[in-house]
Chain A
Amino acid sequence: MAIASGSEAPAQAPSEGPANASRALGKRLVALGRGFLTLREGSIVVVTVATFVYFAASTPGFATGANFKTLLPFFAPFAILAAGEVFVMINGEIDLSIGSVYLITPFLFYKLASAGGLPLVPSVIIALLGSAMIGFVNGFFIAVVGISSFVATFGMLFVLDGLTLVISHAEPVATPGTSAIHVGSFAQVFGGGTYSMLIWALGIVAVLQLLLTLTRWGVYTVAVGGNRLGAAEAGVRVRLVLIRNFVMCSTCAGFVGILEAVHTTTATPDPSGAGEILFEGIAAAVIGGTLLQGGSGTVAGGLIGALFLGILHDGLVIKGVSADYLDLYLGIAIILVMSVNVLVQRVRKGSGLG
């Protein structure tokens, strides 16, 4: 490659002039297009747009404002879950407890605000500290004790599911600060407002994408996932990096739990539903271009992955696909999309960009 570019340079140099400006512009546009396609998120963007166009063309009522609102809850929560999970996955680990953190945090919030009598916002903050603690415990067992994250967080999943059933007596409760007939200002902000979840999702994704690409935190996250020994030799504090990413992942999941509980005005102790949340969160991250084996990933991609899952889900429902077939189609679509993703990634590798 070095030889090729070396021999090209002198040939180009003399012909450069104002006459070639337009050609240079064209070249740059082509390069820009190729650059986009070779972006980590590029392939999933194309697939998502294609899916959208397909449903919009084939299904009346899909590309409408009203449907957009129905689509939101299918996608915004998973974007936030995926954002946290992406950091853990770039570390080369996985957090299987996010569904259960999502499940238990609303009950922590309920206990604090209803039984404890604390104001709503401090209750939210303390409940989130609780989910951060769960992340810390996960991180401790993984980074310090040395259990594999699959096992440690799998154990945590059952612990939290069980704990939720115990403290809730397996009964759903009304989320504090919400009512079925009126959406107050607290509920407006924390998930009850139509666009509240979307705004939170966009905000969190934007902040975490910046954290990943523009800060030391992000560089160290990639370093620990890419070459753990090398990162340690260079002086990166591997345990700290792992623990704080688990804390962040868990906090994101707890926050989504509260948003959902406020949105639906009820906190339901349903572990199987929590399991589905977990899978969709991880699926969004993976579809968005984050590698399960670590070292590489994107938060924005997780958002697009979640959007793709949302569009697919919503589109199939609107198309009138029987509920029995829904999961079948969803599964096939996911496998197809990932195959396309792999092909595009191969092209990207060939282009010399990572």
Chain B
Amino acid sequence: MAEQPLNGEQEPPGEALPPGEALLPAETVAEDESSMSGGTAAADAAAGAPARAEPGAGEEVLRVEHIAKSFGPITALRDVGLKLRKGEVLGLLGDNGSGKSTLIKVICGFHKQDKGQMFLRGEPYEPKSVDDARAHGIDTVYQDLALIDELSVYHNMFLRRERVHAGIPFLANARMRRNARKALDEIGINIPRLDVPVARLSGGQRQAIAVARTVYGEANILLLDEPLAAMGAKEGGAILELIQRLKEEGNVSIIMVLHNYVHVLATCDRVNLIQDGVITFDKLTSETSVEELTDIVVEEYRRARQEALAADMEAAAAKRSTGAR
């Protein structure tokens, strides 16, 4: 206990409290200090509180700085910065069109940013492709799930990671089917047949497949873009449980786009709010509440409405004045 381990692989201190509960206050300390001292691992270590063994206080694995991305005339991201620690679950909130999915797609190597840098475990990180990002240990559940309707469940689960027989380049279908079954069973999602095309499955089952294939890859940073969107209560619960389990194991870090504030507070360690392509809010979930998050969003909605109204009135006034002439 006196010597604080710097990585999350070590056992958490054996106290009566379950790790999940001990986690949040410890993190609060780390967060405050890092935000003051610029967030370097050395500064964290120098602070030297015993609770430092918690996964949420692990070293920074991913840092994103001043990312901007436009698609022709549309600016999706203006200046985004965020950081992710080892073992942390970061919730990303924001309106539709605020740039969440674009940010995810920049981090996972699908889009290349126009400006800004990313750092992975302190090293500059410039993914050339989705494959390249995956080789760096970053994998994604896309909002559109990226499933191929015509392919079987297990071919989807192993898309781009197909297992082949040793010696001949033929797909090891039986092995993939077995492993897919195992992964789905572990999550607790029931899909009776794995050789049917995924077009035949329900929205929740499809989403579970997309989540399972990412979680059971070899990634240690997971990007989940609305992993619960199409799910019923039962399937959604299974996925949240899975994320909780990953969090307790502390080996993977997760950025998760969610819409439901209750889910964010229940599952995430920290929450970032993205508005108009900029991160405007960054707090530990233990320090915020559904009310605060709601207030911010409602406030933004009001402001946007007022601005729109003002613009309308100006336009109307301009029209009147030209009409009068």
Which residues of A are interface residues toward B (Cβ below 8 A)?
A: 1-2, 5, 210, 214-216, 219, 222-223, 225-227, 229-237, 295-296, 352-354
Contacts and interface: CB of A to CB of B under 8 A. Distances in A.
B169 interface: yes
B151 A222 contact: yes
A223 B148 contact: yes
Nearest to B141: A233
Contacts of A229: 144, 146
A215 B148 contact: no
A219 B150 contact: no
B147 A216 contact: no
Contact of A219 (B145, B147, B151): B151
A-B pairs, 10 with minimum CB distance = A233-B146, A235-B130, A230-B146, A226-B150, A354-B197, A235-B160, A226-B148, A295-B150, A235-B131, A223-B148
A219 B159 contact: yes
A227 B147 contact: yes
A354 B162 contact: no
A230 B169 CA distance: 24
B285 interface: no
B170 A234 contact: no
A230 B144 contact: yes
A214 B171 contact: yes
Contact of B151 (A1, A215, A223): A223
Given A227-B149, A233-B110, A233-B142, A215 B131 contact: no
A227 B170 CA distance: 23
Contacts of A235: 129-131, 134, 159-160
B199 interface: yes
B168 to A, nearest CB: 9
B226 to A, nearest CB: 14
28 contacts: A1-B192, A2-B192, A214-B173, A215-B170, A216-B162, A216-B171, A219-B151, A219-B155, A219-B162, A222-B151, A223-B151, A226-B149, A226-B151, A227-B146, A227-B149, A229-B146, A230-B144, A230-B148, A232-B110, A233-B130, A233-B142, A235-B131, A235-B160, A236-B159, A237-B129, A352-B200, A353-B196, A354-B200
Given A234-B146, A296-B150, A215 B169 contact: yes
A223 B159 contact: yes
Nearest to A217: B169
Interface in B130-144: 130-131, 134, 140, 142, 144
A252 B5 CA distance: 62
Nearest to B205: A2
Contacts of A230: 142, 144-148
A12 B169 CA distance: 40
Given A216-B164, A219-B171, A227-B149, A234 B130 contact: yes
A222 B170 contact: no
A5 B144 contact: no
Contacts of A216: 162, 164, 169, 171
B288 interface: no
Nearest to B159: A234
Contacts of B146: 227, 229-231, 233-234
Contacts of B151: 219, 222-223, 226
A248 to B, nearest CB: 16
Interface string B193-221: 00011011000000000000000000000
